[in-house]
Structure 1
């Protein structure tokens, strides 16, 4: 078995949705778009109910993918992610997977849910856990500190600011974003400064493979 970065995600509060079919359609569309923009080992896919999973060769790519999924759906819908690092194995011909990497991702998403119940981390939506004995990966303290700050910043964004952020993450110019949203370039620039959008994008791009920066 080879160690990979595993991702388990779920929709937050989806059971109260008035149109669950439309919500799942939007989720499926968001996952498909993100899979085209990152390099998964096995693409993000809905597995059952409100949950989805995917695997990546590096923790960096997994972290990038979790931001992109959240930004695709926020603020209309929110998602929670657990990122694990460890070995996985395919158990049968249907492609069912198991192993320490998946156990770590499950522990991570449960940790994110518990942490969000505390005042200091109420906006946390992503956590990272390394499987016991796994080699490689990344330092959990470093990754989780970055995730906490990232999630707090994204959680405070309005719908218009998220629209600007989506454009920036796609490397569109501020002028092109302004034209697409029907607002002035100055208004876009003000949102970029006031909401720290440039810092979110810069951190996201630092995690990209060298050829994609």
Structure 2
């Protein structure tokens, strides 16, 4: 399975410092590249406010997207379209190759869908999965199941404070509550309480499931 990921910055035209937001996102991507699932093609800026990357499993793509959202600082967020389908490259004398194929078209449809879902019913929604037109029934079923979970996961993450996201990221990365408490300058009890009250414990456990643990 090939999963193409297209991301765009939420409210990019309204950001007070667009350049700083770009740096923050690229820093988060570099962190996830190091600590998260291995990408076939890591997320990289393309044009405007978009980023593109490729993963070889849906679980890997979903896990990476979660880590990215947790790694973003306050005021910065992205929408993610995950497209299941084949991908190829159109030769280009200028760039060496332009990504193309059904997987990318599906990722674009996913971005458009999550825009609509966010505007219409679930303001905290940020991630959607679509399957290319020639996808299998099993792939379609996997996308439906993923989307049901992603709506809930995104709702929780969107509502988290910056500290709750940092703690959730740390737990996903395997750091202990005592280490996180020291880094935040709070008690371990406070870490435990915040993880539980924000829903981060469920988000972290979901990450572990995606990673096969």
- Fold-level match, TM-score > 0.5? yes
Aligned to 1:17: 15
Q: Is the 8 A contact 2:24 2:73 kept in 1?
A: no
Q: Is the 8 A contact 1:45 1:53 kept in 2?
A: yes
Q: Is the 8 A contact 1:87 1:134 kept in 2?
A: no
- Label 1:126 to 1:74 Cα distance change in 2 as closer, same or farther (>3 A): farther
Question: Where in structure 2 are the equivalents of 1:18-57 lying within 5 Å?
Answer: 18-36=16-34, 37-57=36-56
Deviation (angstroms), 1:76: 2.2
Deviation (angstroms), 1:74: 4.5
Is residue 140 of structure 2 the alignment partner of residue 142 of structure 1? no
Q: Any gaps of 5 or more consecutive residues in structure 1?
A: none
In structure 1, C-alpha distance between the alignment counterparts of 2:83 and 2:13, rounded to whole Å: 26
Question: TM-score, normalized by length of structure 1?
Answer: 0.92
Is residue 119 of structure 2 the alignment partner of residue 117 of structure 1? yes
Aligned to 1:62: 61
In structure 2, C-alpha distance between the alignment counterparts of 1:25 and 1:71, rounded to whole Å: 16
Q: Which moved more, 1:65-74 or 1:45-54?
A: 65-74
Question: TM-score, normalized by length of structure 2?
Answer: 0.92
In structure 1, C-alpha distance between the alignment counterparts of 2:14 and 2:120, rounded to whole Å: 23
In structure 2, C-alpha distance between the alignment counterparts of 1:168 and 1:106, rounded to whole Å: 31
Question: Where in structure 2 are the equivalents of 1:163-174 lying within 5 Å?
Answer: 163-174=166-177
Cα RMSD for the two superposed structures: 1.4
In structure 2, C-alpha distance between the alignment counterparts of 1:51 and 1:76, rounded to whole Å: 17
